């Protein structure tokens, strides 16, 4: 009998602690990412896991801030809309902080600087932005590459759901160029010897983590953790790990 009572007490204690754990688990935030953008966020085909610069960075930030989270893989277009509508608590996806986006969502402090760059096949005669006039240019729909390429008069822009599809089209000569973020372009250029990057757009972009409006407490925590992580040299380590060949 005595044994039964103590077993029961242990069971009750165990259950309460499990429930307590579950309770704090419900605070897990949902972080959206469009994992089609190597080397910042993409699915490693060997492990089927989402990996990349942003993935490591957010993991370090969350650990620093004591935040529980899960990544949700979402296409680029619904990702921005989902953040704006509050479907996700945050998104890390090489998202350029832009005035027009700030109307619908909030951003963390910037963590990376990128530019838009033109990639062509090595035998192309396109050498700069003006060379895109009258040509077919592939972009990921709704990205800053799309916005910049579409702003050049006379350019024939084709939007793809994923930048990888634009590169497939370029490699098979269905289009003449791709415009995308510099780190993504570098990755494709080093992977395919018949591609080259020729010219940057005169714009400078900063990546930020996006949040639905009204997430001030979370943003404050993330910014504090981001500052610590930066001070610890994590960004430099990630540049070495993901961007320097």
Give the residue, chosen from 34, 64, 89, 176, that forms a contact with ligand ARG under the rule CB under 6 A.
Answer: 34
176 in contact with ligand ARG (CB under 6 A): no
Cα 15 to Cα 1, 6, 19, distances in angstroms: 21, 14, 6
Give the residue, chosen from 181, 201, 209, 215, that forms a contact with ligand ARG under the rule CB under 6 A.
Answer: 181
CB 112 within 8 Å of CB 234? no
Q: Which is nearer to ligand ARG, 165 or 224 (CB)?
A: 165
Q: Which is nearer to ligand ARG, 93 or 215 (CB)?
A: 93
What part of residues 200-229 is at the interface with ligand ARG (CB under 6 A)? 205
Nearest distance from C-beta of residue 205 to ligand ARG, angstroms? 6
**Contact stretch for ligand ARG (CB under 6 A) within 16-24, 81-89, 117-125, 139-147:** 139-147
**Dist CA 186 CA 244 (whole Å):** 10
Give the residue, chosen from 95, 117, 209, 226, that forms a contact with ligand ARG under the rule CB under 6 A.
Answer: 95
3-state secondary structure of 24: helix
CB 54 within 8 Å of CB 61? no
Q: Which is nearer to ligand ARG, 64 or 205 (CB)?
A: 205
93 in contact with ligand ARG (CB under 6 A): yes
3-state secondary structure of 56: helix
Nearest distance from C-beta of residue 68 to ligand ARG, angstroms? 23
User: In angstroms, how far is CA 123 from the centroid of its own chain?
Assistant: 31
Give the residue, chosen from 31, 32, 38, 41, that forms a contact with ligand ARG under the rule CB under 6 A.
Answer: 41
**Dist CA 209 CA 238 (whole Å):** 16
The contacts of residue 42 (CB under 8 Å, 6+ apart) are 35, 36, 50, 51, 52
Binding region for ligand ARG (CB under 6 A): 34, 36-37, 41, 76, 93-96, 140, 143-144, 181, 205
């Amino acid at each position: 009998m005595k044994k039964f009572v103590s077993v029961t007490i242990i069971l009750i204690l165990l259950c309460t602690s499990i429930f307590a754990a579950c309770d704090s688990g419900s605070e897990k935030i949902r972080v959206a990412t469009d994992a089609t953008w190597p080397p910042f966020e993409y699915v490693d085909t060997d492990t089927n896991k989402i990996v990349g610069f942003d993935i490591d960075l957010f993991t370090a930030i969350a650990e620093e801030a004591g935040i529980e989270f899960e990544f949700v893989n979402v296409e680029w277009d619904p990702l921005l809309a989902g953040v704006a509508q509050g479907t996700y608590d945050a998104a890390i996806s090489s998202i350029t902080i832009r005035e027009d986006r700030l109307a619908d969502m909030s951003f963390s402090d910037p963590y990376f600087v990128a530019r838009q760059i033109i990639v062509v096949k090595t035998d192309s005669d396109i050498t700069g932005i003006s060379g895109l006039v009258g040509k077919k240019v592939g972009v990921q729909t709704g990205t800053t590459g799309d916005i910049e390429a579409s702003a050049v008069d006379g350019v024939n822009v084709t939007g793809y759901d994923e930048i990888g599809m634009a590169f497939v089209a370029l490699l098979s000569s269905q289009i003449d160029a791709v415009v995308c973020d510099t780190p993504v372009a570098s990755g494709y250029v080093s992977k395919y010897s018949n591609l080259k990057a020729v010219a940057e757009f005169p714009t400078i972009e900063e990546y930020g983590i996006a949040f639905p409006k009204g997430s001030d407490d979370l943003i404050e925590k993330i910014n504090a953790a981001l500052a610590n992580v930066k001070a610890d040299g994590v960004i430099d380590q990630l540049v070495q790990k993901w961007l320097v060949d």
